[in-house]
Amino acid sequence: MATKSAKYRKLRDGGWGVMVDGIPVHGEAVLVTKKSGEQSAEIVGKLVWKGTDDRSDGREISLWTILKGEPDTPVGTPHPEPKIKTDSDENIPF
């Protein structure tokens, strides 16, 4: 079940992001509606912008990058933070 709805938006870097109704958490799956009416789930990555929608009722909205992840992650389920490998994670002989 969708907890937050969203629409695709073009980002300044030329890539695609999602404009979400509300403020999800990093890694959360949101339900995105295309102009055609087709819906799909996307996982939000990095927060680009947040504020209020002055063109409607002043609700909170946020713009996010799209995190590439498991396509079958249920909508509304947080995606685990990616683990960043450091030198201390491995014993690398030099």
Reported as a single tens digit per residue, the pLDDT across 37-63 is 999 999 999 999 999 988 878 889 999
Banded model confidence at residue 72, pLDDT cuts 50, 70, 90: very low
Break the chain into its structural domains and give their ranges.
5-72
DSSP 7-50: EEEE-TTS-EEEEEES---TTBEEEEE-TTS-EEEEEEEEEEEE
Is residue 79 predicted with pLDDT exceeding 60? no
Q: What is the pTM of this model?
A: 0.69
Mean pLDDT of all residues in the chain? 80
Rounded to a whole number, what is the distance in angstroms from the first to the last CA of the chain?
51
